[in-house]
Amino acid sequence: MEERGGYYYEDGSGYRTGGGRDDVYLGRPPPRGDEQYSYRPQQQQYEELPQGGDMEYVRRRTRSPASSLNGSFSDPDREPRVSSPKRVTWKDPVEQQKSQSIRVSATDYTGRCRELERELRNLSVEKTRAETLAEDLKSRLSRQEELVSQFREQNSNINHDVDQLISVVQTARISGRWEIEKVRFRELTVDQVFGSIHETFTKTRDSSESSELREQIRRRDDKIDALQQELKRLRAQGLPGDQVHMPDISETTGARLREDLKKLEERVEDLNYEIQSRDRKVSNLSGQLGDLQTELSMKDSEISSHIQNIKILQDKHRHALQESTKSEEVIRQLRSELLAIRDQHNQSSHDVSHYERRIRALESELAEAKDYRRKNLDEIGALQERLRESHSSTHDHQDLLKSELARRDDTIQKLRRDVLALQEKRDAALSEHDVLLHKLSTAEDQVTRTQEEMHRTEKRNKSLEAEVAHVRLQLSEADNEAKTSSKKVIVLEGELKTMRGQSDEFQGQVAKLTKSLQRLQTSSKDTRDTLSAEVSERQDAIVRLRNDNRDMEDKVREALSAAQHRGDQLTQVREELKQAVAKTQELQIKLEDAEKEMQQSTTRISTQSQEMDRLQTEIQEKALTSSQQETMYRSEVADREEEISRLKADLNIYHEKLAQADAQLLSREEQIVRFQTQLHEYMEEASRRDEQLRRTEAELHSLDDEKKRLEDVVQRREISLQQLEHDLELAKDKYKDAVEENGRLEARIQASEINAQSEQDVLSTEVKRREEGIKRLKMDIMRLQEVCSRYEEKASQAEREAEHVRSQLRSCQNENEVKRAAVKNLESNVEELKSKSSQQVEENSRLEDKIRELTVAITTQEAQCDKLRHMVTTKEDMVTQLRSDAESLSRQQKETVSKVLVRDENIQKLNTEIGKLKAKHQEKTKELVACTNEIAKQSELIKKLQGTLAQCHQDLDDVRKRGEADLAHKDEAIKHLQDDLMESQTQHSACYNELVKIEEELEILKGEHSHLNKTAQASSMEIAALQDQMHQLELDLTITQEKHRTAQKEVSSRDQVILRLQADLDTATQNYSGSLEELKVNENEMKRMSTRLKQMQQEIRDANDSLDAKNGQIAESEKKIQQLQHAEEMAVQETGPGKTTHNQWR
């Protein structure tokens, strides 16, 4: 193939332009026989284009067919032109097509650049939002790390304090001393653990009082021994006449001893009963301590799990930061590329405008030349020689013009290649944008996961708070079972309120989620991409709802278990109340027996009062001792009366507690019924939500099926469009072949015309007349030459600018080669998006109808939303009221906790004493089993003594009744007796001599009294053994008191832990409020996404409109094809008359 001045001459394989005069042909060569059309990608087709001038195919890709065809073949404003037999008239449409294709490509390029700028703006906005979310996550992580550090410090301090307490207890067990001075606590204080100085003083005072009582008992025992010795001495020295009175004295002493034995037995029984009750309390407290330890271990494990979760969140946050940095780098690269593309676009637009101006000027000049040629065609026959010379010059100028046109074609092709490269860059930017969107979606998913983990931690904190409340309730139950039951009811009411508040909040969240689902349903009908994203979001929402539903079910189950546990506690309380009632009944029976014994003692005292009157003469010497004994008896009677009054008061208190417990039981049963109804309601709501979720899933499945069906339809239509395009291209190829054949025929016709003109020498006379016209033509030619020189200078400038642009393009290509590696990965995504966009266009028509239907549903739902908002406002007011009530209850709770702590200290003291007494009681029961054998032997003696003691009791009862009835008389008698005692003291000296004689008689009686002394000694031995047992019990009591102190310290430490947990609860509530604010932020983001979806819907509508326009253009192109076929037929018809004129010339 040989190139000359932009002409391609035919050598058998290429294509050519006619060699004749005025032949300007730039067409595609005819297709070979084995060449077939194959559908290839756009880039490959551009790469395989020939370098000559086949711009027809490029125009189809870069401009609308309507503009090119209208500009080239249909011009209604132009006058109809008469076809001449000497020239070809199809050069102008090709140049007009080129100029219009350049204009259309420039407009498309500007539109695409604007779309890229919009997408970059959206990316920047989304990036800022992602950065804000990352900062929020950082702040949350810092807060959680601070909380974890505080928990760790508290745990380390508590472990140190526990170690210190263990060391103190060990030293106390080894040495028996409490070494408090060396102890150094971190969290606790010495007063909280070991009590204040006032408490120690009261305890020492109690211990001193108990020691004084023991000393008094010992003094009494010594006095009893001394009196027994004096009795023996008196019996040995006494007279036989006095022997009658001695058994009465022995009986009185035996009666006293029996009374003391009974008192001791009753006290032992009371102590055993108290030990049993305290053993029960100790077992309950030990169980509670075990539960607390297990709960502490669970809390430690949960804290460790929280720490692990925090570490995982930190790792995720770091990964998200890395991804955000990567995305920022990509965005910077895109911005730099966009700036370069803008610069290139500005340069290309400037060049295109310059070339368009040049092409317009050339077109105008060509039109003028054609006009001149039309005028001079009639005169050319006479001016062959001169015209040949002028033709040679004009031919050279035409060669130059053709070379310029070829160069312009090359530059246009290069510019179009640049446009294609820019389109590829845009596609790469779009793919990167999609990748960034995907990354943002993954980051949002991670954020949602972190939020779910935060919700889980909050739920765990709430469960811990509930457990703390449960522990507090258990501790308060140790103080007073009836009061704790009321506190439990209060706590249950508070929990019910919190649960209701949580349920209201969850309902609000569910309503919001339902609204968001409806919005997503409406927005999902706009684009397939948004549909896929919304499907994933809905699935996430469904998963969240299911998780929430499961959490609600777990809470319901926990509430049921708590209700069952509380029901068990209520049954325990009822059983304990029944036991208390039985105990009160036993106490009432004992009181009735005591009253009966008192009545019997009064009768005995009445009978013995007569004997006392008879024996007053004998007891004058021992009146002082009897008066002292009477005072002792009076004090004992007063003590008994006080005990009776206390027991009555206790009975009244127990009756009141029973009534309160019954009322509380009724209220709790009502609350349980309410809880059950609420649980049924919650279950029904959960079932409704499950049904809604199923419906939404079914709708999603149906939408997926419809999508698949529409995709199949779109694929079929694409196949049909491809076939139509193939047919169009075949028709165009055929048309080009016909045009080429017409050109060849016209060249032959022109050659024949030239030969005919050479034979026209006859018209030489007319040449002289037309020389003036020739001169004018020469002037015009000179002007055209000047114009051509100007155009050549402009073309040189354009070439320089093109070289500059080429250098810039080379630099850009060098930069693009670095980025093509990333672009290749994204091209597949771009192709998929193109296919999806073509599929989505047809879906939009279907979805718009559904949108119309849904708008009606949305209006109804908006009304419902307004109602729900009103409900939400009312519920928020209720929540504020409940919060104020909760704050007041928390204040009351703190006050009650301070009171309960004081009571717990006393209870723990008693519990420790009871535990020690239980341990000792178990040891002493074994000793009692050993002693029962000895007691069985001495039971006969004791029965005898019991008989005498019963008589003495009767006498004492009579004396007490008389003493109670005749206190005034006895006071006067006591005064009289005192006077008599003074007289008897004066007489004592006189009677001393008589007593000496009586002592001699008492010595005789001592032998008789020795037997009684032996029996008394045996009884005294038993009393001594019992006293030893009492001493051991007292020692055990001291040990139990010390243990109680240690337990009290532990309880105080636990109370501090509870206070800390309360503080943690307050922090958790603050975190919950923060999570509510975050939910509001998320709602705002959902609104923003909805607005963005609306924008996308508008864009899709615009795309639909553009597709409709393109379909109309395709229809117009079909019409144009028909017009072209008609024009081809007309051209064929024009060739026919040309042949006839040629024959006529011959």
CA distance 841 to 858: 24
User: Mean pLDDT over residues 1102-1130, rounded?
Assistant: 79
The alpha helices in 88-196, defined as continuous H runs, are: 91-175, 190-194
The alpha helices in 65-90, defined as continuous H runs, are: 65-73
Residues 550-561 as b/e (b if ≥16 CB within 10 A, e otherwise) read eebeebbeebee
CA distances from 1036 to 213, 282, 839, 873, 1029 (A): 17, 16, 92, 65, 10
- Report which residue type is found at 620: Q
Tens-digit pLDDT profile for residues 900-915: 677 667 667 766 776 7
Tokens for 1111? 């379909």
27 — alpha (psi -120 to 50), left (phi > 0) or beta?
beta
Helix axes 967-1145, 771-965, angle to 10 degrees: 170
Tokens for 1118? 């079909």
CA distances from 343 to 84, 416, 797 (A): 48, 16, 20
Q: What is the DSSP code string of 363-384?
A: HHHHHHHHHHHHHHTTTGGG-H
Centroid of chain to Cα 979: 95
Segment among 75-79, 187-191, 269-273 with least mean pLDDT = 75-79
Segment among 113-117, 309-313, 520-524 with least mean pLDDT = 520-524
**Are 27 and 50 spatial neighbours (Cβ–Cβ below 8 Å)?**
no
**Length of the chain in residues, anyone?**
1146
Closest-CA residue to 1071 (of 79, 144, 229): 144
Closest-CA residue to 421 (of 821, 835, 47): 47
4 φ/ψ angles, rounded to the nearest 5 degrees: -150, 110
Tens-digit pLDDT profile for residues 778-799: 777 777 777 767 767 776 776 7
446 compared with 1099, residue with greater pLDDT? 1099
Centroid of chain to Cα 858: 29
**With bands split at pLDDT 50, 70 and 90, how would you rate the model's confidence at 33?**
very low
| Residue 314 predicted with pLDDT over 70 | no
472 φ/ψ angles, rounded to the nearest 5 degrees: -60, -40
User: Mean pLDDT over residues 576-600, rounded?
Assistant: 67
Per-residue pLDDT, 235 = 66
Per-residue pLDDT, 886 = 65
**Are 417 and 322 spatial neighbours (Cβ–Cβ below 8 Å)?**
no
Q: Supply angle C-alpha 428, 434, 435, rounded to 5.
A: 90
- Report which residue type is found at 76: P
What is the 8-class DSSP label of residue 759? Answer: T
159 φ/ψ angles, rounded to the nearest 5 degrees: -65, -40
Per-residue pLDDT, 398 = 60
CA distances from 693 to 375, 525, 595, 865 (A): 85, 19, 76, 19
- Report which residue type is found at 1136: G
**Are 57 and 45 spatial neighbours (Cβ–Cβ below 8 Å)?**
yes
User: Mean pLDDT over residues 148-155, rounded?
Assistant: 78
Question: What 3-state class would DSSP assign to 9?
Answer: strand
| Residue 863 predicted with pLDDT over 60 | yes
Tokens for 708? 């698949």
Helix axes 481-524, 967-1145, angle to 10 degrees: 10
CA distance 1130 to 82: 12
| Residue 78 predicted with pLDDT over 60 | no
Per-residue pLDDT, 239 = 45
Centroid of chain to Cα 297: 25
Average pLDDT, the chain: 67
Tens-digit pLDDT profile for residues 268-286: 677 667 777 766 766 776 6
470 compared with 250, residue with greater pLDDT? 470
CA distance 278 to 913: 8
Q: Supply angle C-alpha 63, 68, 72, rounded to 5.
A: 165
588 φ/ψ angles, rounded to the nearest 5 degrees: -65, -40
Tokens for 512? 């919001």
User: Mean pLDDT over residues 655-661, rounded?
Assistant: 71
**With bands split at pLDDT 50, 70 and 90, how would you rate the model's confidence at 703?**
confident
Per-residue pLDDT, 1111 = 78
Helical (H) or strand (E) element with 4: strand 2-4
Tokens for 177? 């001393």
Q: Name, in order, each residue with C-beta under 8 angstroms of 671's C-beta and a sequence gap of 6 or more.
A: 489, 492, 493, 496
- Report which residue type is found at 478: A
Tens-digit pLDDT profile for residues 1067-1101: 777 777 777 787 788 778 778 777 777 777 787 77
389 compared with 118, residue with greater pLDDT? 118
User: Mean pLDDT over residues 1037-1043, rounded?
Assistant: 75
Give the strand pairing for 7-9 and 2-4. antiparallel
| Residue 1116 predicted with pLDDT over 80 | yes
Per-residue pLDDT, 819 = 65
User: Mean pLDDT over residues 498-519, rounded?
Assistant: 66
User: Mean pLDDT over residues 1038-1047, rounded?
Assistant: 75
Tens-digit pLDDT profile for residues 621-647: 665 665 666 667 667 767 777 777 777
What is the 8-class DSSP label of residue 2? Answer: E
User: Mean pLDDT over residues 65-94, rounded?
Assistant: 42
176 — alpha (psi -120 to 50), left (phi > 0) or beta?
left
Tens-digit pLDDT profile for residues 348-377: 555 556 656 666 666 676 667 667 666 656
Per-residue pLDDT, 1121 = 79
Helical (H) or strand (E) element with 3: strand 2-4
User: Which residues, listed in sequence order, are joined to residue 9 by a DSSP beta bridge?
Assistant: 2
**Cα Rg for the chain, rounded, in angstroms?**
59
**With bands split at pLDDT 50, 70 and 90, how would you rate the model's confidence at 171?**
confident
| Residue 606 predicted with pLDDT over 80 | no
**Are 113 and 366 spatial neighbours (Cβ–Cβ below 8 Å)?**
no
3 φ/ψ angles, rounded to the nearest 5 degrees: -105, 135
Looking at the chain, the whole-number percentage of residues with pLDDT higher than 90 is 0
What is the 8-class DSSP label of residue 184? Answer: -
**Are 489 and 667 spatial neighbours (Cβ–Cβ below 8 Å)?**
yes
**Are 699 and 535 spatial neighbours (Cβ–Cβ below 8 Å)?**
no
CA distances from 131 to 141, 321, 414 (A): 15, 9, 42
Beta strands in 311-410 (DSSP E): none
Query: Tokens 């506190």 map to which residue?
Result: 487
User: Mean pLDDT over residues 934-962, rounded?
Assistant: 65
Per-residue pLDDT, 176 = 67
Q: How many CB atoms lie within 10 A of CB 325?
A: 10
Per-residue pLDDT, 3 = 38
Q: What is the DSSP code string of 180-207?
A: -TT---SSS-HHHHH--HHHHHHHHHHH
